[in-house]
Amino acid sequence: MYKLCIKIRGYVMEEEYISVSQLTDYIRKLINSDSRLKQVYVRGEISNFKRYSSGHCYFSLKDEGSVIPGVMFYGFASKLKFEPKNGMKVLVRGYVDVYKSRGNYQLYAQRIIEDGLGELHIAFEQLKKELESKGYFEDDLKKPIPKFPKRIGVVTAATGAAIRDIVTTIKRRWPLCEIILFPSLVQGSLAANNIVRQIFVADNEFELDTLIVGRGGGNIEDLWAFNERIVAKAILACETPVISAVGHEIDWTIADYVADIRAATPTAAAEIAVPDIREISSKVDDLDSRASNVMAKQLNDNLEKFERIKNRPLFKNPHMIHERRGMDLDFIKGRLVSSSKEMIHSNQMRLSKVKSSNVFRNPQSILDEKTITLSRNIDKLKVLNPLLTIQRGYAVARSKGKVVSYAKDLKKDEELELEFKDGKVNTRVL
């Protein structure tokens, strides 16, 4: 602390100066002494929101007239059921204190919920939107529920209306089915992990046809375990077809969206899981009756057909078959004999014609005729023979082995071969 003495009109005045830290400490002490600032409820709009790797959240809370900085430390921020965003209208519970290193007061938030909506409802909608975008709810992922199950698993509380309703309904509708209970917590902070573990055990260690996962009705807090991300992942990964049965008809959870089929109540889940043996029995009786009628009609039709066949002449007089086949054989035999005679006669006629021809009557005349024709053809060939031309005093000119008929076909310096009667001479064109 520093003092400055000032003399004014004979009076000495002392001014006392304090440090910035001292002033900040004093203001902080005043704020901390006000009990109304130790628990405040503030409505405003979030801006400049940022979540750091440490888990702490920093933001500003504003309205039309003012703005106040705010912080939410990891211990409280980890309990948020939704992710705050800029522009979101919120209700904040916390306290006011001074941040000494900056010398400004700020709001230390302990709880944040969206103005006009419940915190759990916000978390539900955000997770639903996220999982839907990742394809968790796609119809292509839905597995069919077996029609005639032999063994059904149930993940629910060991006691209560849910398991009682499921067992009663299944035993009444399909008493052939075995029911295996996988007891689990269905409410509270430990419920989600417990449900996930039992789903894994049921799916991997037991050969189940169907798995029912659910509980009785309740408010959103009671049903919240079935809105947890880990439960949704466990149901999606389950190879056994899953029927969700959470709450009452108006209650929808994330588990309902991910499951292969959603039942409005545990009783409805049991009805979906198994057929009604009375309906099956009725259908079997109906099929048996229809089969009997079809068989009786078929038998009557066959008897009538048998009677018609039995009354045919063939069966009344079976020797007719032998007589008819004998007649057919005689007919074929007659045709063969007739055809043979016709063929012999035809060949005899052709032979007679050949014998009466000139070949047999005067073969020498045919030979003389052919000899004359041959002589004429030889004379024609002699006329066309180029060697006879040479013998008459002419020569044959060849170029490259080909006969040259015209002078225009020759070129200067082209070599020629001239063939005379007594030999060949090579020459060149000038």
In the numeric block, the tokens 């849910």 are attached to 162
Q: Counting beta carbons within 10 angstroms of the beta carbon of residue 412, is it exposed (0 to 12), middle (13 to 18) or buried (19 or more)? A: exposed
Q: CATH 3.40.50.2300 region(s) of the chain?
A: 142-274
Under CATH, which number does the domain 142-274 receive?
3.40.50.2300
- d(C-alpha 172, C-alpha 164), whole Å: 12
Tokens encoding 187:
């409410």
pLDDT in tens, 302-341: 988 887 887 777 666 766 666 777 787 878 888 888 887 8
Q: CATH 2.40.50.140 region(s) of the chain?
A: 17-117
Distances (CA, A) of 6 to 1, 2, 18, 19, 99: 17, 13, 17, 20, 35
Q: Which secondary structure element, helix H or strand E, spans residue 430, and what is its range?
A: none
- d(C-alpha 57, C-alpha 275), whole Å: 54
- Band (404; pLDDT cuts 50, 70, 90): confident
What's the CA angle centered on 361, arms 358 and 365, to 5 degrees? 60
* β 242-246/261-262 pair status: parallel
Q: State residue 4's pLDDT score.
A: 45
Least confident of 73-82, 113-122, 162-171, 282-291: 113-122
CB 98 within 8 A of CB 71: no
- d(C-alpha 161, C-alpha 220), whole Å: 18
Query: What fold does the segment set 17-117 form as a domain?
Result: OB fold (Dihydrolipoamide Acetyltransferase, E2P) (2.40.50)
CB 266 within 8 A of CB 216: yes
CB 293 within 8 A of CB 301: no
Q: State residue 361's pLDDT score.
A: 59
* β 423-428/415-420 pair status: antiparallel
Q: State residue 6's pLDDT score.
A: 46
Secondary structure class of 417 (helix, strand, coil): strand
Residue 68 or residue 400, greater confidence: 68
- d(C-alpha 307, C-alpha 287), whole Å: 30
Mean pLDDT for the chain overall: 86
